[in-house]
Amino acid sequence: MSTKLPKNELKYWLAFSQITSVGPVRWQRLLDYFGDLKTAWKASNNDLLKAKIDQKTIDEFLEQRNKIDPNLEFTKVEKNKVKIITILDQGYPKLLKEIYSPPPLLYYRGNLNLNNDFTLAVVGSRKITSYGRLVTERIVRQLAQAGLTIISGLALGVDVCAHQATVDCGGKTVAVLGSGIDQIYPATNRRVAEKIITNGGAIVSEFPFGMPPLKQNFPRRNRLISGLSLGTLVTEATEKSGALITTKYSLDQNREVFAVPGNIYNQNSIGTNNLIKLGGKLITTANDILEALNLEQAKEFKAIKEVMPDNETEKVLFDLLGKGELHVDKLRQYARLDISIINSTLSVMEMKGIVKNIGNQTYAKTR
pLDDT tens across the length of the chain (367 residues): 555 788 999 999 999 999 989 999 999 999 999 999 999 999 999 999 999 999 999 999 999 999 999 999 999 999 998 999 999 998 899 999 999 999 999 999 999 989 889 999 999 999 999 999 999 999 999 999 999 999 999 999 999 999 999 999 999 999 999 999 999 999 999 999 999 999 999 999 999 988 999 999 999 999 999 999 999 999 999 998 888 999 999 999 999 999 999 999 999 999 999 999 999 999 999 999 999 998 877 666 665 555 566 778 888 888 888 878 899 999 998 988 888 888 888 887 876 677 888 888 899 887 6
Exposed / middle / buried, residue 132 (Cβ in 10 Å: 0-12, 13-18, 19+): buried
How far is the C-alpha of 3 from the C-alpha of 300, rounded, in Å? 29
How far is the C-alpha of 233 from the C-alpha of 225, rounded, in Å? 11
How far is the C-alpha of 262 from the C-alpha of 131, rounded, in Å? 9
How far is the C-alpha of 257 from the C-alpha of 366, rounded, in Å? 38
Cβ within 8 Å of residue 117, ≥6 positions away: 148, 149, 172, 302
Q: Which residues of 77-99 are buried (b: 16+ CB within 10 A; e: fewer)?
A: beeeebbbbbbeeeebbebbeeb
pLDDT of residue 322: 82
How far is the C-alpha of 167 from the C-alpha of 274, rounded, in Å? 30
pTM of the model as a whole: 0.81
Three-state DSSP at 84 gives strand
pLDDT of residue 305: 59
pLDDT of residue 304: 57
pLDDT of residue 42: 95
pLDDT of residue 337: 87
Q: How far is CA 301 from CA 134, 146, 289, 335, in A?
A: 29, 11, 16, 29
List strands edge to edge, sheet with 362-365.
326-327, 362-365, 355-359
